[in-house]
Amino acid sequence: MKPLLIILSWIYAAVIAIRHRLYNWGVFKSYSFNIPIVCIGNITVGGTGKTPMAEMLISELSSSYTIAMLSRGYGRRTKGYHEVSCSDSYRDVGDEPLQVKLKFPEAVVVVSEDRVSAIERIQKEHPEVNLIIMDDGFQHRKVRAKVNIVILDATRPHESDRLLPAGRLRDLKSRLSAAHFFIVSKCSEQMSPLDRRLWRNNLRTIAYQKVYFSHIVPQSIEPVFYFEDREYVDYGSQVILLAGVGNPRPFIREAQVRFNVVEKMIVPDHHSYSMEDMKLLYDMLARHPRAIILMTEKDAVKLFRAKGLPERLRRAMYYQPIETRLMEGPDKDFTGNLIAEIEFKDENGERSRGKARGKRVNLDDNEI
């Protein structure tokens, strides 16, 4: 089976390479807009932390810009353009867009599979918007973003990985040259300067590219459902873990440090929960009557409006909010550098950064 996967991976690589060439030659058209677009993407499948990064950008940039976030709304049952409201179901708009909307109700959040027409409609219906954050558009290339931020998972290095279906890469490693900023996500707080330098040397090929490192900071757990007489949950308590995210390992690892994990229910990313799932959770709770059910924030978004759940199950449900924080390193002032890149224009009012492409950066030996 493995040789077959490798052959299919070669075919996939050829198709992707031809597609990129057609965009480079102008056979396939890329569209530019008179509104800056910041694209958050990756070159792998699975969760690298794009949604927490989008939330961080909205939080950091909302004082300088009126922001709209554009997402495909992966896993939704609807089609076409839809502006997300706080009252929407995740089944109609996708779990991640709804999570962002609930955190930032004032932000315009739109889901659409046709990003070009969606951007045109956002400009028409929301003339006050002067910055669009586009989630997961790095591979598509139909929209030419002003800034590309590529997220790479420190727990799943890409260097030795293969393209689909033999590995987790969904794009060519050479496409990393199109990034303006790299965020190496889910780093250990004890990450050594040498490890950071290795990441920087592997990633940074163009003079203006910057590499940042981030780590996940768990916040105090929160109840999914409100009960006035809910008991306080202390560290060390028994927990049943529930996770439906692309890469649940950091969530599991952190929970095992802070709590006594007695059982786990791990489901695929963007999983739609059923009553059968809830019955399995209820059975786990029956086996561990003193435990709580601890889930990711993305899972809580799917369940906080669930109807027909037994009170015992609702009382047991908590979620783990997280915050993405950048770590200290040689590249400083991420927000300032990002704004400078968003606002950058040459003498003709256009980007000129691309002239540096293809030139390998020689990093100073003392730089970490």
Write out pLDDT tens, residues 312-359: 999 999 999 998 899 977 778 999 999 999 998 754 444 444 433 333
Question: How many CB atoms within 10 Å of residue 240?
Answer: 22
pLDDT at 332: 82
- Whether the pLDDT of residue 361 is over 80: the answer is no
| Model confidence, pTM | 0.90
pLDDT at 346: 55
Tell me which of 61-75, 78-92, 190-204 is least confident.
Answer: 190-204
- Second-level CATH architecture of 27-65+130-217+326-355: 3-Layer(aba) Sandwich (3.40)
- Give Cα separations from 339 to 37, 65, 73 (angstroms): 12, 10, 26
pLDDT at 113: 95
Mean pLDDT within 85-104: 96
pLDDT at 3: 86
pLDDT at 360: 37
Within the chain, which residue ranges are assigned CATH 3.40.50?
27-65+130-217+326-355
d(CA 294, CA 288): 13
